[in-house]
Structure 1
Amino acid sequence: MTVFVLGGAQTDFARNFTKEGRGILELFAEVVPAALADAGVSADDVEVAHVGNLAAELFTGQAQLGGLLVAAVPELDGVPSTRHEAACASGSTAVLAACADLEAGRYDLALVVGVELMRNVDGQRAAEHLGSAAWAGHEAVAAKFPWPALFADVASVYDERYGLDPAHLGLFAEHAFAQATLNPLAQARDWRFPAGAFGLDDELNPVIEGRLRKQDCGRITDGAAAVLLASPAFAERLGGGFPRIAGFGHRTAHIGLAEKVAAGGEYLFPHLRGAVVDAYRRASVPGPDALDVVELHDCFTITGLVALEHLGAAPPGDGGRFIAGGGLDAAGINPGGGLIGLGHPVGATGVRMLCDAARQVTGVSGETQVGGARTALTVNVGGSFTTVVTMIVQAAA
């Protein structure tokens, strides 16, 4: 059975909702009506809802987000809902749960919302809250910023195995910020950088942790994204012609980074490669050459480099050369800026990726549109590559 993406929306990731006197309730209240309007359906049509979120309890003290969704959109009163958490892959797991509901025949129209409010605390506190998705008490215990420290460890492991040129990471970041200038909803759309800001200048690009510098790191973001997913019968009632989720992969490994790295194999993270291959197989897509667009998880530049190798864009160890050769543009990778340029409200990212992939294959992505896009891949990672979710989205036949 196929699941169709009727439409969706995201908030402006540059906004600071706390400074506006707003919170998670207002994120829901803004993004859901926009998504319903884009999909051409009403709240009364929604039969089930799924919410992706990492740490609302830590950032805001708020749990029970399904009920908060109803408070924000009263027309959803009575609609069953579930909240999903898988670190930065929370949004994608919410999508997969909605797809399972539709494929089981329980419902015909599902709403998926990903949401995270993160800018209501200072950067240090935000880093500590986000560190809850690592192995608490076992890793990064002495790090000021847990996730930059852990992904700096990934960079060190990569360097030991293949060799890592920091210039390649700088090129990845430069591409992300350049694409963000084309995206009217990107957090970094108005950011400009002086010459040398993507290199080894400690003033222009200071070290954050280990091998990672400021421009290597995604930023703290407020935001929400929502999509409406439909069964074939419901999509046909609306006239058809919608993009579809043609395949997926979903795998989870040990929470500890050291334990994952110790597993070894041809690929640094075999389960990530497995999730990509699962999506290719389920969608009957032969491989990366059949992709027009990739929404790639790049919470850090090293994350993006590693992930592009695992999707098969370059052999293991050759990701840097792929980047240096202009491969990111040629392969349609992160045309809207990715997590580094667009922003990374953790629970919203997987939903935003799906929304953008669907827009790309429908040809409605404006300045970020990849010409002739028909097939897109999303790669969403939670934790230190602990939970990985991939999806292939294809244009209507």
Structure 2
Amino acid sequence: MGKKIYILGGAQTDFSENWSRSNKSLFDLFSSAVLSGLDDADLEPKDIEVGHVGNFVAELFTGQGMLGGYFGHVHPDFSGLPSSRHEGACASGSLAILAAMRDIESGHYKTACVVGVELMRNVPGAIAAKNLGAAAWVGREALGAKYLWPAMFSDLCDIYEDRFGLNYKHLSAISKINFANGKNNPNSQTRKWDFTEKSFSQDDEANPVIEGWMRRQDCGQVTDGAAVVILASEERAAKYAKDRGLRLDNIPFIKGWGHTTAPMLMQTKMQESADGGYVFPWTRKAITDAYKRAGLPGPEALDAIETHDCFSITEYMAIEHFGLTAPGEAWKAIEAERISMSGDIPINPSGGLIGLGHPVGATGVRMMLDAARQTSGRAGDMQVENAKTVGTFNVGGSGTTNVSFMIGV
């Protein structure tokens, strides 16, 4: 990759909090994360030169757009800050990061505050599901489904079953790992939830069907939350390190990135990949582009992965597309316990979207924050020993927007 972009710090909110129930607004969520991120990075608002916001559907959940204008209300020193908002469904946060990177690489700005934010628990579940359906082709797919996204990803399970064979026990194993990891995360939405073995079975009472293959424990959470990362050019990061008596080579940076956009319709995607190999070649390309830009040979160079598990099948797919196994063979990595915290490449030490939570616009930013903390030894009870490089994969829609980062020291 070209110019290095460093991650000076950041923060996330407690994903277990229902902000509306606490009489707090979308702005409160935004402001809390930004101020906490600045505090973590030991920076002042005046140190930030540009702002970027990742958000999917604030208009549908809250009636609020124009989120970049929030900066000037967080602190007077933000008044006049150039800012932009970015939307790519569940990958909105990653698109905001990519835009901030371009601003820094161009030399226009030396520091950027990237905020991912979503408030989603202020409406009934059925309305939330309808709002989130905006990331599919409205009126053209999943027309008979009560819950659109569980139905869409159940259809993906059918594709896997037809092409390679699929055993539900491997999906439930993914969920079980992510909920267990979430127990170690002080900001996890599910850290106080209790489960039994039946919770991860095909028992209709303990783990009821939502749509098709997808049962309750296979699904990511509906979450209120925000996350922030503070990015800086190499020049600015070097001064930052010198002023604080730090070593620049101990500050994590973005080693590589990849970004692709597939056709929106799931049916079109499956037609284009029907000849065999990877089910989502666009996902595979985003990840391999990130490897290439980072100068990494593949997953053997990674110490951990933070990946999109909006549903268990999404992580199953990602295992293959990161290259841990051949297409259709993710079950081998699961059965060998490679992806658990004791394995050679832990996946979602944070708990992921299933265990930690999924405030849609914040997820990509949160992934980068957790990767930066892992590689700087600041992940607490989630720490993967000696983690130096962590890969991320963030997806929007049914594999439509694909973004991957390689992050490390």
- In the TM superposition, what are the counterparts of 1:342-381 in structure 2 within 5 Å? 342-381=356-395
Bigger shift: residues 235-244 or 385-394: 235-244
Task: Give the aligned partner of residue 257 of structure 2.
Answer: 248
In 2, the alpha carbon distance for the partners of 1:122 and 1:73 equals: 33
Report the secondary structure of 1:57's partner residue: helix
In 2, the alpha carbon distance for the partners of 1:230 and 1:28 equals: 21
Task: Give the aligned partner of residue 30 of structure 2.
Answer: 28
Shift in alpha-carbon separation, 1:143–1:74, aligned structure 2, 3 A: farther
Task: Give the aligned partner of residue 244 of structure 2.
Answer: none
Task: Give the aligned partner of residue 215 of structure 1.
Answer: 217
> Is contact 1:363–1:373 with CA below 8 Å preserved after alignment?
yes
Task: Give the aligned partner of residue 184 of structure 2.
Answer: 182
In 1, the alpha carbon distance for the partners of 2:166 and 2:73 equals: 49
In 2, the alpha carbon distance for the partners of 1:261 and 1:128 equals: 24
Shift of 1:75: 2.5
Match of 2:317 among 297, 306, 310: 306
Shift in alpha-carbon separation, 1:74–1:148, aligned structure 2, 3 A: farther
Task: Give the aligned partner of residue 113 of structure 1.
Answer: 115
1:42 aligns with 2:44: yes
1:83 aligns with 2:97: no
Match of 1:321 among 322, 332, 335: 332
In 1, the alpha carbon distance for the partners of 2:173 and 2:161 equals: 17
In 2, the alpha carbon distance for the partners of 1:325 and 1:202 equals: 28
In 2, the alpha carbon distance for the partners of 1:234 and 1:360 equals: 22
In 1, the alpha carbon distance for the partners of 2:28 and 2:372 equals: 25
Bigger shift: residues 221-230 or 312-321: 312-321
> Is contact 1:279–1:392 with CA below 8 Å preserved after alignment?
yes
Bigger shift: residues 240-249 or 372-381: 240-249
Alignment: residue pair count: 395
Give deviations 1:99-141, integer Å, cap 9, x for gaps: 0000000000000000000000010000000000101110012
Task: Give the aligned partner of residue 92 of structure 1.
Answer: 94
Runs of 4+ in structure 1 over 4 Å off: none
> Is contact 1:28–1:73 with CA below 8 Å preserved after alignment?
no
Task: Give the aligned partner of residue 295 of structure 2.
Answer: 284
Task: Give the aligned partner of residue 408 of structure 2.
Answer: 394
Gapped regions of structure 2 (runs ≥ 5): 242-247
> Is contact 2:153–2:313 with CA below 8 Å preserved after alignment?
yes
> Is contact 2:71–2:81 with CA below 8 Å preserved after alignment?
no
- In the TM superposition, what are the counterparts of 1:135-146 in structure 2 within 5 Å? 135-146=137-148
Shift of 1:28: 1.2
> Is contact 1:25–1:69 with CA below 8 Å preserved after alignment?
no
In 2, the alpha carbon distance for the partners of 1:334 and 1:370 equals: 10
CA RMSD of aligned residues (A): 0.8
Task: Give the aligned partner of residue 66 of structure 2.
Answer: 64
Shift of 1:317: 0.9
In 1, the alpha carbon distance for the partners of 2:33 and 2:70 equals: 14
TM-score by length of 2: 0.96
Shift of 1:336: 1.1
In 2, the alpha carbon distance for the partners of 1:62 and 1:349 equals: 19
